[in-house]
Amino acid sequence: MNKSLLAKQTLRVAAAVAVSASVVFTACNKNNEAEETEAVAQLKDYSVNPSLVKTMSGFENLSVTTLISSDDVLAESPNFIFGAQPDGAGIIKNPSGEGFIMINNHEILQSVSRVYLDKNFKPIKGEYIVDSDGGMTRLCSATMATPEEHGFAKPLFLTAGESGSESMIHAIDPLATADKKNNQRTLAALGRWSAENAVPLPKNSYPGKTVIMIGEDESDGQLAMYVSNTQGDLQNGKVYVLKRTNNDPVETNMSKGTSYDVEFVELDNVKTSTGAQLQQQTVAKNALMLARVEDIDYRKGSAANGREVYFTATGVSQGDKVTPVSGKTMWGRVYKLVLNENDPLKGKLEVAVDGADNPGNSIVNPDNLCVTENYVYIQEDGDSFYTNNKHDGTIWQFGIADKALKAMLQMNHRRTDATFNSKYNSTNSQLLSSWEYGAMYDISNLTGIPNTFVVNIHPHTWQDTKYRNADGGTTRLTNNSEGGQVVIVRGVAK
């Protein structure tokens, strides 16, 4: 979400993924290789809270079960509270025993939790491995980089700091002993951005290289790229930003149905530059100015598919929530970027989905993405509260081949349920799109159940003071009393 917009920030105070046989990470899962699968997990509702999403027409085959929510008491850590705004996330097998380990950013808490799951994905223990002091800024989307998928020496949870242009990207060991206040994990070589995600491309996309896509959530946001000629290197590469070859930086000068030649141009002195200085360089070098690049993911499958990258521009409006900002998408877009086979610094860019095609009925403020081999799953963050929006937060299925856009899941506020309405809608009870999604990622190979995904939920109007300061940190941008939830969805086409 865009923290540079003060009105939205105030309201919230009141709110690439591959799978190997052993690892799952956001945003989505590699799903077409012959891999060993685990024994079939016995999934069921594990939370005391009901699911806060519902299936849409045409997707009645989906099965939704709860994994964890903020009211749950875990057997081995009864004082642990699963905190607000679970955003970027990943799951790995527990190398010390049976079961799995789930890592979650908690955006507004500036923290990272670690939850231990048994072989059937039942949560049994939880702790925070980063608190607000160590996180320093909001931690939003994330990617679990792995040896198997990306050529890294060990799994690393790459989580993007997003609280202004001086924020940085963290590399967190998901298996390390909790050192909650350690704020020395930041990666200077990746620069300073109000970043939403840092997504390494698969190691077979550009053998021998490390290529990481970085998205910046600002109204003049960037799509950046870190490139090192050493696989798994996060210290010695260079950083580039996306531009059109004709030097036109205006987003809305591009329209759906046309392919545009683009390239990435190098930024100077990245390690020693402030975020403000890097921003000055992007202007001087005619980088594309995009309305909030909130997430990135790549297509799963072959090496060529890994060079097909999708990213969102969430959109911005004038203060009246009706009038566009000149040169910027308002309702939001999903872009498709196909990188050159031999040179990641060159490519073709097109608009894949544009919310302006059917304002208020199509995508509204797309945020997170999950890309499979055949589909792009687009998760809305519609709490810019546009006057003409007509639906609650939705996950859309976009067919890569047929370009069909279908509403698959929608937030279930339970407004008409007398038992739950006051609990989950304690503020702004009738306001559409007051909730948003976090990560969506594939856990099919870990569960042994095909087409099985995790979805994170930020139900901003579910508030209780008992959830406040769940991570135990001492400094943060704002206090927050929201609850959070993670659900498992089966039957999702890949």
Q: Which long-range contacts (CB under 8 A, 24 or more apart) does 76-82 make?
A: 76/116, 76/124, 76/125, 77/125, 77/126, 77/127, 80/125, 80/126, 80/127, 81/466, 81/467, 81/470, 82/113, 82/115, 82/126, 82/470, 82/484, 82/486
The residue among 482, 388, 476, 394 whose CA lies nearest residue 433 is 394
The predicted-structure confidence for 390-433, as pLDDT tens digits, reads as follows 999 999 999 999 999 999 999 999 999 988 999 999 877 788 99
The C-alpha angle 393, 394, 397, rounded to 5 degrees, equals: 160
CA–centroid distance for 19 within its chain: 16
In the block, tokens 């069909």 appear at: 404
More confident residue, 190 or 28: 190
The predicted-structure confidence for 99-117, as pLDDT tens digits, reads as follows 999 999 999 999 999 999 9
Task: Check which CATH number belongs to the domain holding 76 and give it.
Answer: 2.120.10.30
Separation between Cα atoms, residue 217 and residue 164, nearest integer Å: 9
pLDDT at 426: 84
pLDDT at 2: 46
Residue 1 inside a domain? The answer is no
267: DSSP letter: P
Residue 201 inside a domain? The answer is yes
pLDDT at 407: 98
Secondary structure (DSSP) of 32-93: SS----PPPP-----SSSPPSEEEPTT-TT-EEEEEEETT--BTTBTT----S-EEEEEEEE
Give the pLDDT mean for 171-192: 92
Residue 303, preceding peptide bond in cis (omega within 30° of 0): no
Number of domains the chain contains: 1
pLDDT band at 34 (very low <50, low <70, confident <90, very high): very low
The predicted-structure confidence for 70-86, as pLDDT tens digits, reads as follows 999 999 999 999 999 99
328: DSSP letter: S
pLDDT at residue 338 is higher than 60: yes
Secondary structure (DSSP) of 353-405: EEGGGSTTTS--SEEEEEE-SSEEEEEE--TT--TT--SS-EEEEEETTT--E
Q: Which amino acid is it at 240?
A: Y
CB 410 within 8 A of CB 394: yes
Q: Which amino acid is it at 309?
A: V
Separation between Cα atoms, residue 69 and residue 457, nearest integer Å: 9
> Residue 102 sits in which domain range?
6-490
pTM of this structure? 0.93
The predicted-structure confidence for 207-239, as pLDDT tens digits, reads as follows 999 999 999 999 999 999 999 999 999 999 999
Residue 192 inside a domain? The answer is yes
Question: E strands within 270-340?
Answer: 296-298, 308-313, 333-339
Query: And the tokens for 152?
Result: 């890294």
Neighbours of 63 (CB within 10 A): 14
